[in-house]
Each structure stands twice: as structure tokens, then as C-alpha cells.
Chains A and B, each alone.
Chain A
Amino acid sequence: MIPLRNPAAIRLGRLADSGRTGRLHLSGESGGVIHLSEGDVVYADSRRTPDLATRLAQAAVFTGRDLVGSLERSWLLREAIVDATLELLSAKARHLRFRPSGDEPGFSDMDGMPVAALITEVSRRREVMHQLSALLIPDTAVARDPGARSRAIHVSDIQWAILIRAGNPVTPRGLALQLGQSVFSTTIEVFRMVTLDLLKVVDVPTRPADQEGGFNRNRPVVSFIRALADERGNSQLRR
């Protein structure tokens, strides 16, 4: 969950309450900018997540068509905001600076996200990330599993895209930036692929080839419902 004393979250909440328009700059290697318009977040940019332009460009490559003005642009914008905010509120910003402005151009046609709802979603994702952390985080190196037993398996388009890029060690974050996908969803997908023995965490010994592979019962499983329960439990502990 987002700690109640997270300075960036507190500052964001205050800016939302006062209906401010402008940019909240968060410094540091994991820094970025959160854009507000009348107290709602209209965009967020992090150095460690794909920006909206990258997401739109990659999506256009996949589909061969322009997404501007479509529902998909709206969804991609939402995901870009939440993905970046998760990164920004998870890191320790050394310095916060708010620069007011008259408007935030480029996003005037999109509805802003209420800060409270954004932080709730970010908190939920942090609980999911906590589940994944038993096995990997966005910066854990993974690669195709050379010890995986030969078997027929159906992979999705995104899993295929990940597999062909994982011949050499790569991180979920690196894959997300290459694919223009959410760092959060890519990390979850990589987690599942490790569970399916399609990928392996680079520094963890591979199981011998003569051992049966497939779904490993000893590995953790990611659950969105469990993330909600954990978030509620942690909220009660904080009171």
C-alpha cells in the first residue's frame, strides 16, 4: 500500500484538494512529472515507464492504424498515467516542486483522473507487485528457459513478443520499454511465463532437464483478489 506518510502522495493530495493546475516534478533517477488540471491528473511521465507517444507508436505498429481519438488512445493514456504514477510513488523522490500553469496542453480533450482514485489504484498495484516480488521485480533479469522440457503450449501474442526478445537476459522493464507496454502488466506476464517455465530468472539455477516441468506448484501465484484483501488488511493495520 502507499504509506500514509509518502511525501509525494501527500503533496498530490493537497494539490488535488485545492484544485491546482500545473506540474508536480519529482526528482531523482526514478523521477518524473505529474500533470494536473483543476486538481485532477491528466498525465504522468516517469523515466522508467514508456511514455504515451511510445505506447501509441507501438500500438500503431501492431495494428497498422492510427489510434488518435479512439477508445484505445483513451485506455493507453489511462494506463500510462497509472503505470508512471506507480513508479513515481514507489521511489523516494529527493525533491518535489510544483510549477503552476494556466493549462496543460495536449490533454484537454481527455477527462482527468481524480487523485484519490488514482492513489487507490496505485496502492492496489503495489499489493500485486508485492506478490510478484517473491519471484521477481520489474528489474529482475530473465531469459528463455533452456532447461524447459519440450512440450506443446499455446502462447498469446504478448507472450510470443516477450519470448523472442528474451534470448539474452532482459528485465520486465526493458521488455515493457521495447514493446511500449505497461511495466506493471509486463512484469505480471513475465511472472506467469516464469511459472509456466517459458522463462527463467537468470540468477536462479535451472531445474535439470530430466525433471518434469510445467506449472510449478511451489511458486507463488498472482491474484488480484488477494491484492485487495491484503490492501484492506494493511489499511486496518495502519489505523
Chain B
Amino acid sequence: MSAFPVEVTLAPVGQIDGFVLVCLVDASTGMILDSLQARDDLPLPVAAAGAADVVNVLSMMTSELATDGDVEDVIVTLNSQYHLIRLFRPAPGRRLLLLVTLERSQANLAMAHREIRDFLNRLRKEQDWMT
């Protein structure tokens, strides 16, 4: 658990096949709001900082390209892991991201992508968020 636990329960994400870690990050500041991990030795701050950097660089790219809308999600495929980053906006001016890391040998990427999306949709309805 993060040292700054908030009221979001990330436990459903921990049930996804191949789960390694999940963290909720404020993309604007890079601060970890909450986290859950399968092992204690995982470099959570590095993962969270990297995810925030990726999202912010891509947002600058879409800004310059004048595309309509912002980044929705990013999937990074490594030899042994998937890193799924889902960006969401609970309120104007607030940009949060959910980073989920999965063991590639145990995960079904399409299912995981859907489960993460469904998790955030449920949260959005419960909290009456913007997007």
C-alpha cells in the first residue's frame, strides 16, 4: 500500500491474471496516490514516475499534432511483462493514471485491458467523475 492511501480500493485490479502491481498516480505531479503490488521488492516509484513521464510526453505530442482529445491508454510490451497505463480525468484540471503491470506469461492482454477499463468505469459511476 502507498504511504498515502486514499479511499479507492484497487483490490479488483489485483485479481487480474498475471497481476504484478497497480498504482494510481497523479499525472500532473507524479505523486503515487495508492498502490498494490504482488511483491514488496518491486520498484514502484520508478514505475509510477515512468508512467507519468510517458503520458505527459504523449500529451505534448498530441497537443502539437492538434489531435482531438487526449491520450486514453498506453500499452507497453516487454519480453516478460505488459505495462498498461490508463489515463482518466475525474474533474477539470485533474489528470490521473492507473498503471497496471502484468506477467506476460500469465496474462491475457485483451481481457486485462477490458477489466481495467471496466474497473475505471465502475469507479467513474460511483464517484460521478467527468471522464
Interface assignment of A65: CB less than 8 Å from any CB of chain B:
yes
Task: Tally B residues with Cβ within 8 Å of A.
Answer: 40
Asked if B64 lies at the interface with its beta carbon under 8 angstroms from chain A, I say: yes
- CB of B11 within 8 Å of the partner chain: no
Report the separation of the CA atoms of residues A63 and B130 in the bound assembly, to the nearest whole angstrom.
8
> Which of A65, A70, A154, A192 contacts B66, CB < 8 Å?
A154
The answer to whether B50 touches A59, judged by C-beta atoms less than 8 angstroms apart, is no
Cβ of A158 within 8 Å of any chain B Cβ, yes or no, is: yes
Chain B residues with CB under 8 A of A157: 92-93
Chain A 17-36 interface residues, beta-carbon cutoff 8 Å to B: none
A interface, over-half SS: helix
Chain A residues bordering chain B, tally (CB within 8 A): 51
Cα of A196 to Cα of B130 in the assembled complex, Å: 27
B29:A111 contact, CB within 8 angstroms: no
Inside 8 A of B45's CB, which chain A residues have their CB? Answer: 124, 228
Of residues 52 through 105 on chain A, the ones whose CB sits less than 8 Å from some CB of chain B are 59, 62-63, 65, 70-72, 74-75, 78-79, 82
Q: Interface 1/0s, chain A 181-219, versus B by CB < 8 A?
A: 110110011001001100000000000000000110000
CB distance from B25 to the nearest CB of A (A): 9
Q: Across the interface, do B29 and A125 meet the contact criterion of CB distance under 8 Å?
A: yes
Given contacts A154-B66, A189-B28, contact A223 B53 (CB under 8 A): yes
Please give 19 more A-B residue pairs, beta carbons under 8 A apart, in addition to A65-B128, A188-B28. A59-B93, A63-B92, A71-B90, A75-B33, A78-B31, A113-B3, A128-B30, A153-B66, A157-B92, A158-B28, A161-B93, A181-B93, A189-B28, A196-B63, A196-B64, A223-B53, A224-B48, A224-B49, A227-B30
Asked if A154 contacts B62 (CB within 8 A), the reply is yes
Q: What mask results when residues 51 to 70 of chain B are scored 1 for a CB within 8 Å of chain A, else 0?
A: 01100100110111111111
Chain B residues numbered 15-54 whose CB sits less than 8 Å from any CB in chain A: 26, 28-31, 33, 45-46, 48-50, 52-53
Q: Judge if A10 is at the interface, Cβ distance under 8 Å.
A: no
Selected from B49, B56, B63, B127, the residue in CB contact (under 8 A) with A153 is B63
